[in-house]
Amino acid sequence: MKTDVISILKKVGAVLTDDHFVYTSGKHGSVYINKDAVYPHTKETSAICKLIARKFQRKRIEVVAAPALGGIILSQWTAYWLSQLSHREVLGIYTEKDAEKNQIFTRGYDKLVKGKRVLVIEDLTTTGGSVRKVVETVKSAGGSVIAVSVMVNRDPAHVNAGVVGAPFSALGVLKAKAFDEALCPLCKKGIPVNTAVGHGKEFSGQK
């Protein structure tokens, strides 16, 4: 298996280009990484998380935290590989979105990060907003955020340590310009929104 994240994502058909997509942030663009195409492939998902774990195996990470839903899978696999590499248990937990769209700990997970060294991970970053919310929640619960790591950073010019609130790195970069709807050149050209992946269905008012 190729060991760089972009090759792994392309292998499972997760990298989509030359179309009109709506991202989680609500912004539009022509490149989409369909992370949901990765997760059914346990070998590839495990390999990606092993890449993350190797980067931080000497950082004495005690807990891996990530936002639900896809982050649940990433936090489990990354914690597993960190446990294997460090020969001690590393916990894998996740935050969930509340009514105000903040990322919060439920299920008593806040108690698992208090006083612990935490690695925050995420699949993709377009604006960095979601992962920053996880960082803030970990800090509010008394955890120490050692680093933030993502599979792919889609906007390296703007998403960095300052934006997410902690040391930041990505396994790979796949630049994808993101536009507000009012400024979207794809909308202006009348290119239909892809409703099969991303948030195109909600944008188009489909159920």
Band of the pLDDT at 150, cuts 50, 70, 90? very high
Query: Smallest Cα–Cα separation from 154: which of 184, 199, 191, 123?
Result: 123
β-sheet bridge partners, residue 15: 33
**β-bridge mates for residue 92, sequence order:** 64
Q: How confident is the model at residue 77 (pLDDT cuts 50, 70, 90)?
A: very high
Whether 146 and 119 have beta carbons less than 8 Å apart is answered as yes
Under DSSP, the state recorded for 19 is S
Closest Cα partner for 93 from 117, 76, 111? 76
Please list, residue by residue across 109-141, b when 16 or more beta carbons sit within 10 angstroms of its beta carbon and e when fewer do. bbebbeebbbbbbbbbbbbbebbbbbbbbbeeb
pTM of the model: 0.86
User: What is the chain's mean pLDDT, rounded?
Assistant: 93
Q: Identify the pLDDT of residue 2.
A: 55
Interval 15-47: pLDDT, tens: 998 999 998 788 999 989 898 999 999 999 999
The CATH topology of domain 15-199 is Rossmann fold (3.40.50)
pLDDT tens readout for residues 91-124: 999 999 999 989 999 999 999 999 999 999 999 8
Q: Are strands 63-67 and 117-125 parallel, antiparallel or unpaired?
A: parallel
| 133 phi, psi to nearest 5 deg | -65, -35
Q: Which one-letter DSSP state was computed for residue 179?
A: B
* pLDDT at residue 206 in the model: 62
User: How large is the average pLDDT for residues 147-162?
Assistant: 92
Residue 133: per-residue pLDDT: 95
* H or E segment and range at residue 66: strand 63-67
> Treating both helix axes as pointing N-terminal to C-terminal, what angle do 42-56 and 70-86 enclose, rounded to 10 degrees?
60
